[in-house]
Amino acid sequence: MELLHGVKITIVGTGYVGLVTGVCLAAKGHQVTCVDKNLDIVERINQLQTPIYEPGLPELLRQVVVSGSLVATNDLRSSVLTSEVSIITVGTPSGDGGIDLSYIEDSAREIGTALRDKSDYHIVCVKSTVVPTTTDTLVKNVLKATSGKDPGEFGLAMNPEFLREGKAVEDFMYPDRIVIGALDNKSFAGMSKVYEGLFDAPIIKVNLRTAEMIKYTANALLATLISYSNEVASICETTGGIDIKEVMTAVTLDKRFNPKIEGLLVNPEANQYLQAGCGFGGSCFPKDVMALVSFSTAKGYRPRIIESTLRINVEQPQRLLGRLEQLLGTFANKKIAVLGLAFKPETDDVRESPSIAIITSLLEKKAKVFAVDPVAAANMKAIIPPSDSIIYTTDYRIALHDADAVILVTSWSQFIKIPPEEYLCLMKNPLVVDGRRVLDKASLEMAGCSYLGVGLV
Protein backbone atom coordinates (compact mmCIF):
# COMPACT_ATOMS: atom_id res chain seq x y z
CA MET A 1 0.00 0.00 0.00
CA GLU A 2 1.46 3.37 -0.99
CA LEU A 3 0.62 6.68 0.67
CA LEU A 4 -1.66 9.06 -1.17
CA HIS A 5 -0.09 11.98 0.67
CA GLY A 6 3.27 11.19 2.17
CA VAL A 7 4.69 12.74 5.31
CA LYS A 8 7.36 15.37 4.76
CA ILE A 9 10.43 14.08 6.56
CA THR A 10 13.88 15.48 7.31
CA ILE A 11 16.65 12.95 7.85
CA VAL A 12 19.51 14.50 9.82
CA GLY A 13 22.73 12.68 8.93
CA THR A 14 23.20 10.49 5.88
CA GLY A 15 25.48 7.81 7.24
CA TYR A 16 24.52 4.16 7.16
CA VAL A 17 21.29 4.40 9.16
CA GLY A 18 20.27 7.80 7.79
CA LEU A 19 20.64 6.98 4.12
CA VAL A 20 18.93 3.59 4.36
CA THR A 21 16.09 5.14 6.39
CA GLY A 22 15.66 8.07 4.02
CA VAL A 23 15.74 6.01 0.84
CA CYS A 24 13.35 3.37 2.15
CA LEU A 25 10.85 5.91 3.52
CA ALA A 26 10.94 7.76 0.19
CA ALA A 27 10.32 4.47 -1.61
CA LYS A 28 7.23 4.01 0.58
CA GLY A 29 5.76 7.29 -0.60
CA HIS A 30 7.05 9.92 1.82
CA GLN A 31 8.75 13.13 0.74
CA VAL A 32 12.23 12.92 2.21
CA THR A 33 15.05 15.44 2.50
CA CYS A 34 18.39 14.03 3.61
CA VAL A 35 20.58 16.60 5.33
CA ASP A 36 24.33 16.30 5.72
CA LYS A 37 27.09 18.83 6.39
CA ASN A 38 29.40 17.02 3.98
CA LEU A 39 28.79 18.61 0.59
CA ASP A 40 30.50 15.76 -1.23
CA ILE A 41 27.98 13.29 0.22
CA VAL A 42 25.09 15.61 -0.65
CA GLU A 43 26.27 15.92 -4.24
CA ARG A 44 26.83 12.19 -4.62
CA ILE A 45 23.31 11.39 -3.42
CA ASN A 46 21.75 13.94 -5.78
CA GLN A 47 23.86 12.45 -8.57
CA LEU A 48 22.39 8.97 -7.84
CA GLN A 49 25.51 7.64 -6.10
CA THR A 50 25.49 5.80 -2.79
CA PRO A 51 28.33 6.84 -0.46
CA ILE A 52 28.08 3.50 1.39
CA TYR A 53 28.17 -0.13 0.27
CA GLU A 54 24.86 -1.88 0.90
CA PRO A 55 23.20 -4.45 -1.39
CA GLY A 56 19.98 -3.15 -2.96
CA LEU A 57 20.53 0.46 -1.94
CA PRO A 58 21.93 1.87 -5.22
CA GLU A 59 18.90 0.75 -7.23
CA LEU A 60 16.44 2.13 -4.68
CA LEU A 61 18.35 5.40 -4.35
CA ARG A 62 18.23 5.94 -8.09
CA GLN A 63 14.49 5.29 -8.11
CA VAL A 64 13.58 7.80 -5.37
CA VAL A 65 15.95 10.56 -6.49
CA VAL A 66 14.78 10.35 -10.10
CA SER A 67 11.14 10.41 -8.96
CA GLY A 68 11.78 13.44 -6.78
CA SER A 69 10.78 11.64 -3.56
CA LEU A 70 14.23 12.21 -2.07
CA VAL A 71 16.64 15.10 -2.27
CA ALA A 72 19.82 15.84 -0.35
CA THR A 73 20.93 19.21 1.01
CA ASN A 74 23.17 20.79 3.62
CA ASP A 75 20.45 23.29 4.60
CA LEU A 76 18.95 21.83 7.78
CA ARG A 77 16.99 24.93 8.73
CA SER A 78 15.08 25.11 5.47
CA SER A 79 14.29 21.41 5.57
CA VAL A 80 12.97 21.57 9.15
CA LEU A 81 10.78 24.57 8.33
CA THR A 82 9.15 22.74 5.44
CA SER A 83 8.80 19.26 6.96
CA GLU A 84 6.61 17.63 9.60
CA VAL A 85 9.10 15.24 11.18
CA SER A 86 12.86 15.43 11.75
CA ILE A 87 14.61 12.09 12.29
CA ILE A 88 18.06 12.33 13.86
CA THR A 89 20.39 9.59 12.59
CA VAL A 90 23.82 11.06 13.32
CA GLY A 91 26.62 8.93 14.72
CA THR A 92 27.19 8.20 18.40
CA PRO A 93 30.83 7.08 18.39
CA SER A 94 32.55 5.54 21.38
CA GLY A 95 34.12 7.95 23.83
CA ASP A 96 35.75 7.10 27.17
CA GLY A 97 33.93 3.78 27.33
CA GLY A 98 30.52 5.35 26.73
CA ILE A 99 29.18 7.15 23.68
CA ASP A 100 29.87 10.63 22.38
CA LEU A 101 26.56 12.51 22.21
CA SER A 102 28.00 15.71 20.73
CA TYR A 103 26.51 15.07 17.27
CA ILE A 104 23.11 14.40 18.85
CA GLU A 105 23.33 17.60 20.87
CA ASP A 106 24.42 19.66 17.86
CA SER A 107 21.56 18.29 15.76
CA ALA A 108 18.99 19.00 18.46
CA ARG A 109 20.33 22.53 18.81
CA GLU A 110 20.08 23.25 15.10
CA ILE A 111 16.59 21.76 14.87
CA GLY A 112 15.45 23.69 17.93
CA THR A 113 16.79 26.96 16.53
CA ALA A 114 14.78 26.39 13.35
CA LEU A 115 11.66 25.52 15.35
CA ARG A 116 11.82 28.92 17.06
CA ASP A 117 10.65 30.40 13.76
CA LYS A 118 8.08 27.71 12.98
CA SER A 119 4.47 27.88 14.14
CA ASP A 120 3.40 24.43 12.93
CA TYR A 121 3.69 21.37 15.16
CA HIS A 122 6.86 19.41 14.44
CA ILE A 123 8.06 16.04 15.74
CA VAL A 124 11.71 15.46 16.52
CA CYS A 125 12.60 11.77 16.49
CA VAL A 126 15.89 10.24 17.61
CA LYS A 127 16.83 7.16 15.59
CA SER A 128 20.51 7.16 16.50
CA THR A 129 21.46 4.59 19.12
CA VAL A 130 21.59 6.44 22.45
CA VAL A 131 21.66 5.26 26.05
CA PRO A 132 18.45 5.51 28.11
CA THR A 133 17.65 9.02 29.42
CA THR A 134 19.27 10.73 26.39
CA THR A 135 16.08 11.69 24.55
CA ASP A 136 14.00 12.76 27.54
CA THR A 137 16.80 14.79 29.12
CA LEU A 138 19.54 16.00 26.76
CA VAL A 139 17.53 16.18 23.54
CA LYS A 140 14.36 17.52 25.16
CA ASN A 141 16.21 20.16 27.16
CA VAL A 142 18.23 21.37 24.17
CA LEU A 143 15.11 21.59 22.01
CA LYS A 144 13.26 23.49 24.72
CA ALA A 145 16.09 25.95 25.27
CA THR A 146 16.78 26.66 21.61
CA SER A 147 13.19 26.70 20.31
CA GLY A 148 11.67 28.70 23.17
CA LYS A 149 8.84 26.15 23.21
CA ASP A 150 7.71 23.70 25.86
CA PRO A 151 7.56 19.95 25.20
CA GLY A 152 4.10 19.29 23.83
CA GLU A 153 4.34 22.29 21.58
CA PHE A 154 6.79 20.11 19.68
CA GLY A 155 6.67 16.33 19.50
CA LEU A 156 9.46 14.06 20.73
CA ALA A 157 10.01 10.42 19.84
CA MET A 158 12.63 7.70 19.90
CA ASN A 159 12.46 5.14 17.08
CA PRO A 160 15.38 2.66 17.25
CA GLU A 161 16.67 0.93 14.14
CA PHE A 162 17.20 -2.81 13.80
CA LEU A 163 19.20 -2.97 10.59
CA ARG A 164 21.72 -5.67 9.78
CA GLU A 165 24.54 -4.53 7.55
CA GLY A 166 24.33 -6.38 4.27
CA LYS A 167 20.56 -6.80 4.70
CA ALA A 168 19.57 -3.30 5.77
CA VAL A 169 17.16 -2.55 2.93
CA GLU A 170 15.38 -5.87 3.47
CA ASP A 171 15.22 -5.28 7.22
CA PHE A 172 13.76 -1.80 6.81
CA MET A 173 11.19 -2.76 4.20
CA TYR A 174 10.14 -5.95 6.01
CA PRO A 175 10.60 -5.21 9.72
CA ASP A 176 9.94 -7.62 12.58
CA ARG A 177 8.62 -4.81 14.77
CA ILE A 178 8.48 -1.03 14.83
CA VAL A 179 9.27 0.48 18.21
CA ILE A 180 8.11 4.03 18.87
CA GLY A 181 9.00 5.64 22.15
CA ALA A 182 6.98 8.83 22.58
CA LEU A 183 6.83 11.81 24.90
CA ASP A 184 3.02 11.88 24.66
CA ASN A 185 0.11 10.54 22.64
CA LYS A 186 0.35 13.30 20.05
CA SER A 187 4.01 12.45 19.39
CA PHE A 188 3.14 8.78 19.03
CA ALA A 189 0.23 9.48 16.68
CA GLY A 190 2.42 11.67 14.48
CA MET A 191 5.24 9.12 14.26
CA SER A 192 2.76 6.31 13.61
CA LYS A 193 1.75 8.06 10.38
CA VAL A 194 5.25 7.36 9.07
CA TYR A 195 4.68 3.61 9.32
CA GLU A 196 0.96 2.76 9.51
CA GLY A 197 -0.40 0.92 6.49
CA LEU A 198 3.02 0.62 4.85
CA PHE A 199 4.70 -2.10 6.88
CA ASP A 200 3.36 -5.48 7.94
CA ALA A 201 4.73 -5.35 11.46
CA PRO A 202 3.42 -4.55 14.94
CA ILE A 203 3.95 -0.99 16.15
CA ILE A 204 5.05 -1.10 19.77
CA LYS A 205 4.28 1.99 21.85
CA VAL A 206 6.59 2.61 24.79
CA ASN A 207 8.12 5.56 26.61
CA LEU A 208 11.33 7.19 25.44
CA ARG A 209 13.67 5.40 27.85
CA THR A 210 12.20 1.99 27.11
CA ALA A 211 12.69 2.50 23.37
CA GLU A 212 16.35 3.36 23.97
CA MET A 213 16.80 0.31 26.20
CA ILE A 214 15.17 -2.07 23.71
CA LYS A 215 17.88 -1.31 21.15
CA TYR A 216 20.75 -1.90 23.58
CA THR A 217 19.16 -5.03 24.99
CA ALA A 218 18.69 -6.54 21.53
CA ASN A 219 22.32 -6.00 20.54
CA ALA A 220 23.74 -7.04 23.90
CA LEU A 221 21.74 -10.28 23.83
CA LEU A 222 22.94 -11.26 20.36
CA ALA A 223 26.52 -10.37 21.24
CA THR A 224 26.25 -12.45 24.41
CA LEU A 225 25.05 -15.47 22.42
CA ILE A 226 28.19 -15.21 20.28
CA SER A 227 30.54 -14.92 23.24
CA TYR A 228 28.75 -17.73 25.06
CA SER A 229 29.30 -19.97 22.05
CA ASN A 230 32.96 -18.97 21.91
CA GLU A 231 33.43 -19.68 25.62
CA VAL A 232 31.96 -23.17 25.20
CA ALA A 233 34.23 -23.59 22.16
CA SER A 234 37.24 -22.83 24.37
CA ILE A 235 36.11 -25.52 26.81
CA CYS A 236 35.84 -27.96 23.90
CA GLU A 237 39.37 -27.07 22.75
CA THR A 238 40.79 -27.44 26.24
CA THR A 239 39.12 -30.83 26.75
CA GLY A 240 39.80 -32.29 23.30
CA GLY A 241 37.67 -34.77 21.39
CA ILE A 242 34.66 -32.43 21.29
CA ASP A 243 33.44 -30.44 18.29
CA ILE A 244 31.62 -27.21 19.22
CA LYS A 245 29.74 -27.33 15.91
CA GLU A 246 28.22 -30.71 16.76
CA VAL A 247 27.46 -29.50 20.29
CA MET A 248 25.60 -26.38 19.16
CA THR A 249 23.77 -28.19 16.36
CA ALA A 250 22.34 -30.62 18.90
CA VAL A 251 21.60 -27.91 21.50
CA THR A 252 19.66 -25.75 19.05
CA LEU A 253 17.45 -28.67 18.00
CA ASP A 254 15.73 -28.25 21.37
CA LYS A 255 12.13 -27.22 20.64
CA ARG A 256 12.63 -24.10 22.73
CA PHE A 257 15.26 -22.95 20.24
CA ASN A 258 13.90 -24.64 17.13
CA PRO A 259 10.15 -25.33 17.25
CA LYS A 260 8.34 -27.31 14.59
CA ILE A 261 5.49 -25.94 12.54
CA GLU A 262 3.55 -28.51 10.55
CA GLY A 263 6.34 -30.98 11.16
CA LEU A 264 9.13 -28.73 9.85
CA LEU A 265 11.83 -27.07 11.93
CA VAL A 266 11.61 -23.28 11.99
CA ASN A 267 15.36 -22.86 12.59
CA PRO A 268 15.16 -19.24 13.81
CA GLU A 269 17.91 -16.89 12.65
CA ALA A 270 18.83 -16.25 16.29
CA ASN A 271 20.41 -19.71 16.28
CA GLN A 272 23.06 -18.38 13.89
CA TYR A 273 24.42 -16.36 16.80
CA LEU A 274 24.96 -19.60 18.72
CA GLN A 275 27.91 -20.47 16.52
CA ALA A 276 31.55 -20.25 17.52
CA GLY A 277 33.98 -18.14 15.54
CA CYS A 278 36.69 -15.53 15.89
CA GLY A 279 34.42 -12.93 17.49
CA PHE A 280 31.95 -10.19 16.61
CA GLY A 281 32.67 -6.73 15.23
CA GLY A 282 30.96 -3.96 13.32
CA SER A 283 29.64 -0.54 14.15
CA CYS A 284 27.00 -1.77 16.62
CA PHE A 285 27.77 -4.75 18.83
CA PRO A 286 31.14 -3.72 20.31
CA LYS A 287 30.18 -0.05 20.72
CA ASP A 288 26.69 -0.71 22.06
CA VAL A 289 27.72 -3.42 24.52
CA MET A 290 30.54 -1.22 25.79
CA ALA A 291 28.17 1.73 26.13
CA LEU A 292 25.65 -0.35 28.08
CA VAL A 293 28.38 -1.47 30.48
CA SER A 294 29.56 2.12 30.94
CA PHE A 295 26.01 3.44 31.40
CA SER A 296 25.08 0.73 33.90
CA THR A 297 28.29 1.16 35.89
CA ALA A 298 27.73 4.92 36.08
CA LYS A 299 24.27 4.21 37.48
CA GLY A 300 25.80 2.06 40.21
CA TYR A 301 25.29 -1.44 38.84
CA ARG A 302 28.06 -3.62 37.44
CA PRO A 303 26.72 -5.81 34.58
CA ARG A 304 28.95 -8.86 35.00
CA ILE A 305 27.55 -11.04 32.20
CA ILE A 306 27.74 -8.23 29.67
CA GLU A 307 31.29 -7.36 30.80
CA SER A 308 32.28 -10.96 30.15
CA THR A 309 30.73 -10.77 26.68
CA LEU A 310 33.24 -8.04 25.80
CA ARG A 311 36.20 -9.73 27.47
CA ILE A 312 35.65 -13.03 25.67
CA ASN A 313 35.28 -11.23 22.36
CA VAL A 314 38.60 -9.45 22.80
CA GLU A 315 40.33 -12.70 23.72
CA GLN A 316 38.86 -14.85 20.93
CA PRO A 317 41.05 -13.75 17.98
CA GLN A 318 44.15 -13.98 20.14
CA ARG A 319 43.24 -17.47 21.26
CA LEU A 320 42.94 -18.58 17.65
CA LEU A 321 46.30 -17.01 16.78
CA GLY A 322 47.89 -18.67 19.78
CA ARG A 323 46.87 -22.09 18.55
CA LEU A 324 48.20 -21.33 15.07
CA GLU A 325 51.49 -20.04 16.46
CA GLN A 326 51.98 -23.29 18.36
CA LEU A 327 51.67 -25.22 15.11
CA LEU A 328 54.01 -22.93 13.15
CA GLY A 329 56.51 -22.43 15.95
CA THR A 330 56.83 -18.75 15.09
CA PHE A 331 55.14 -16.13 12.92
CA ALA A 332 58.42 -14.41 12.10
CA ASN A 333 59.04 -14.42 8.34
CA LYS A 334 55.99 -16.60 7.73
CA LYS A 335 53.54 -15.69 4.97
CA ILE A 336 50.00 -15.69 6.36
CA ALA A 337 46.97 -15.21 4.11
CA VAL A 338 43.99 -13.55 5.79
CA LEU A 339 40.70 -14.18 3.98
CA GLY A 340 38.18 -11.47 4.84
CA LEU A 341 38.55 -8.00 6.31
CA ALA A 342 34.93 -6.88 6.76
CA PHE A 343 33.38 -7.83 10.08
CA LYS A 344 30.78 -9.87 8.19
CA PRO A 345 30.00 -10.75 4.55
CA GLU A 346 28.08 -8.41 2.22
CA THR A 347 29.49 -5.21 3.73
CA ASP A 348 32.63 -3.12 3.44
CA ASP A 349 32.47 -2.18 7.13
CA VAL A 350 35.68 -3.07 8.96
CA ARG A 351 34.91 -1.28 12.21
CA GLU A 352 35.94 -3.46 15.16
CA SER A 353 36.40 -6.40 12.79
CA PRO A 354 38.32 -9.36 14.24
CA SER A 355 40.62 -9.02 11.23
CA ILE A 356 42.09 -5.85 12.76
CA ALA A 357 43.26 -7.64 15.90
CA ILE A 358 44.46 -10.65 13.89
CA ILE A 359 46.47 -8.63 11.35
CA THR A 360 47.89 -6.30 14.02
CA SER A 361 49.12 -9.25 16.08
CA LEU A 362 50.60 -10.98 13.03
CA LEU A 363 52.50 -7.84 12.05
CA GLU A 364 53.77 -7.35 15.61
CA LYS A 365 55.17 -10.88 15.44
CA LYS A 366 56.95 -10.12 12.14
CA ALA A 367 54.70 -12.14 9.85
CA LYS A 368 54.21 -11.23 6.18
CA VAL A 369 50.47 -10.73 5.72
CA PHE A 370 48.46 -10.95 2.50
CA ALA A 371 44.95 -9.64 3.20
CA VAL A 372 42.03 -10.42 0.89
CA ASP A 373 38.51 -8.96 0.70
CA PRO A 374 36.21 -8.31 -2.28
CA VAL A 375 35.06 -4.85 -1.09
CA ALA A 376 36.59 -3.86 2.26
CA ALA A 377 40.30 -3.46 1.45
CA ALA A 378 40.10 0.32 0.99
CA ASN A 379 38.54 0.80 4.42
CA MET A 380 41.11 -1.47 6.07
CA LYS A 381 43.98 0.40 4.42
CA ALA A 382 42.86 3.51 6.29
CA ILE A 383 43.36 1.61 9.57
CA ILE A 384 46.40 -0.52 8.70
CA PRO A 385 48.22 1.11 5.75
CA PRO A 386 49.89 -1.11 3.15
CA SER A 387 53.59 -1.75 3.66
CA ASP A 388 56.27 -4.30 2.89
CA SER A 389 54.72 -6.41 5.65
CA ILE A 390 51.10 -6.28 4.54
CA ILE A 391 49.82 -6.58 0.99
CA TYR A 392 46.17 -6.10 0.07
CA THR A 393 44.52 -7.91 -2.83
CA THR A 394 41.11 -9.01 -4.07
CA ASP A 395 42.56 -12.21 -5.55
CA TYR A 396 42.81 -14.99 -2.98
CA ARG A 397 45.16 -16.94 -5.26
CA ILE A 398 47.83 -14.26 -4.87
CA ALA A 399 47.45 -14.46 -1.10
CA LEU A 400 47.59 -18.26 -1.01
CA HIS A 401 50.67 -18.54 -3.24
CA ASP A 402 53.54 -19.91 -1.11
CA ALA A 403 51.63 -19.11 2.12
CA ASP A 404 52.55 -20.95 5.32
CA ALA A 405 48.98 -20.70 6.61
CA VAL A 406 45.62 -19.17 5.72
CA ILE A 407 43.07 -17.81 8.18
CA LEU A 408 39.42 -17.50 7.16
CA VAL A 409 38.09 -14.48 9.08
CA THR A 410 35.03 -13.39 7.06
CA SER A 411 32.71 -16.00 5.61
CA TRP A 412 32.34 -14.53 2.14
CA SER A 413 30.82 -17.19 -0.13
CA GLN A 414 33.74 -17.01 -2.57
CA PHE A 415 36.12 -17.99 0.23
CA ILE A 416 33.92 -20.84 1.43
CA LYS A 417 33.85 -22.21 -2.14
CA ILE A 418 37.64 -22.32 -2.64
CA PRO A 419 38.39 -25.88 -3.82
CA PRO A 420 40.56 -27.80 -1.33
CA GLU A 421 42.95 -28.64 -4.17
CA GLU A 422 43.79 -24.93 -4.57
CA TYR A 423 45.10 -24.72 -1.03
CA LEU A 424 47.23 -27.78 -1.71
CA CYS A 425 48.59 -26.54 -5.03
CA LEU A 426 49.17 -22.90 -4.12
CA MET A 427 50.36 -22.94 -0.51
CA LYS A 428 53.82 -23.78 0.73
CA ASN A 429 52.23 -25.41 3.75
CA PRO A 430 48.48 -26.09 3.27
CA LEU A 431 47.44 -25.23 6.83
CA VAL A 432 43.87 -23.87 6.84
CA VAL A 433 42.53 -22.04 9.90
CA ASP A 434 38.74 -21.91 9.89
CA GLY A 435 37.86 -18.88 12.02
CA ARG A 436 34.15 -19.20 11.24
CA ARG A 437 33.65 -23.00 11.17
CA VAL A 438 32.13 -22.85 7.69
CA LEU A 439 34.66 -24.96 5.77
CA ASP A 440 34.39 -28.69 5.10
CA LYS A 441 37.06 -30.21 7.34
CA ALA A 442 36.75 -33.70 5.84
CA SER A 443 37.20 -32.46 2.26
CA LEU A 444 40.21 -30.35 3.18
CA GLU A 445 41.94 -33.19 5.02
CA MET A 446 41.12 -35.66 2.24
CA ALA A 447 42.86 -33.30 -0.19
CA GLY A 448 45.96 -33.26 2.02
CA CYS A 449 45.44 -30.00 3.94
CA SER A 450 45.89 -29.53 7.67
CA TYR A 451 42.80 -28.09 9.36
CA LEU A 452 42.49 -25.95 12.48
CA GLY A 453 39.00 -24.84 13.53
CA VAL A 454 37.50 -22.88 16.41
CA GLY A 455 36.11 -25.21 19.06
CA LEU A 456 37.78 -28.33 17.76
CA VAL A 457 41.07 -30.08 18.52
Environment class of 241 (CB within 10 Å of its CB; exposed 0-12, middle 13-18, buried 19+): exposed
Residues in the chain, total: 457
With b for 16 or more beta-carbon neighbours within 10 A and e for fewer, the 62-81 pattern comes to eebbeeebbbbbeebeebbe
DSSP, residue by residue, 286-313: HHHHHHHHHHHHHTT---HHHHHHHHHH
Backbone angles phi, psi at 39, to 5 degrees: -65, -30
- From the list 397, 342, 398, 336, the residue with the least C-alpha distance to 364 is 336
Helical (H) or strand (E) element with 205:
strand 203-206
Torsion of CA 375, 381, 387, 391, to 10 degrees: -10
What is the C-alpha end-to-end distance of the chain, expressed in Å?
Answer: 54
**What is the distance between the alpha carbons of residues 323 and 237, in angstroms, rounded to a whole number?**
10
CB atoms within 10 A of CB 434: 25
Helical (H) or strand (E) element with 323:
helix 304-328
Of 34, 284, 425, 449, which is the active-site residue? 284
Strand residues in 303-367 grouped as ranges (E): 335-339
Helix (H, G, I), strand (E, B) or coil at 33: strand
User: Is 284 among the residues known to form the active site?
Assistant: yes
With b for 16 or more beta-carbon neighbours within 10 A and e for fewer, the 290-328 pattern comes to bbbbbbbeeeeeebeebbebbebbebbbebbbeebbeee
With b for 16 or more beta-carbon neighbours within 10 A and e for fewer, the 343-367 pattern comes to bbbbbbbbbbbbbbbbbebbbeeeb
Supply the residues annotated as catalytic.
284
